[in-house]
Structure 1
């Protein structure tokens, strides 16, 4: 069972969604990351090589692997068990998905509401630095604590 298949275990909120805020520190892929090479991200396949079991590949995948331009050798282990063994120092098959941070400061976001939504449909606010984000968070936590004390 993958993490996306598991049911969420959330504590039942004590107040309506508009009484809450959602705080997030985000680094969007489009603005905070760039494509990177296997070498730049210390890709284990690039560093150590890798192998692909031939019997697990569809004919198209096997053809793509053999004609990819990557250096490999075929290794037969036993009847019905053989591998394409790719040597280290060359891009892996997931090279196009490697990303590296560009060094931008994260975005410090505050949204009204919680996981149930934002009933007032207010726009998210972005703090310019972590200190004001933390201060906002602290002040909101104190407001919640005060409301809970009131009952």
Structure 2
């Protein structure tokens, strides 16, 4: 893989900070529908259940009594029950995603001279940290 194009740095490596988002390629974590952009969560969904079978009876009983989801129920003429779930609630799938690490370290591509490294727990904290640093950079730039 070729090295990316970089402008030559104007300052020493100690004058820089690197902000990065990384995802470990070998690990998956459970995720909620909203995190993975689940279409059922965004648009709602229907589950068509055949209550004439033991499995269908168990599924319908779970939906009605234990699922904790909001739905409308309609009995079709062919004996199937349609459960219509509104958007904005967790679907029945088990979603997974790769976790993201929100990193800040001293230095740039030439290295990290201090060895300092920070991992933010929340993406919002990482963004706020970056905005503060850019604000400081802008203030220094305006001062000359």
**TM-score normalized with structure 2 length:** 0.47
Provide TM-score, normalisation by structure 1.
0.45
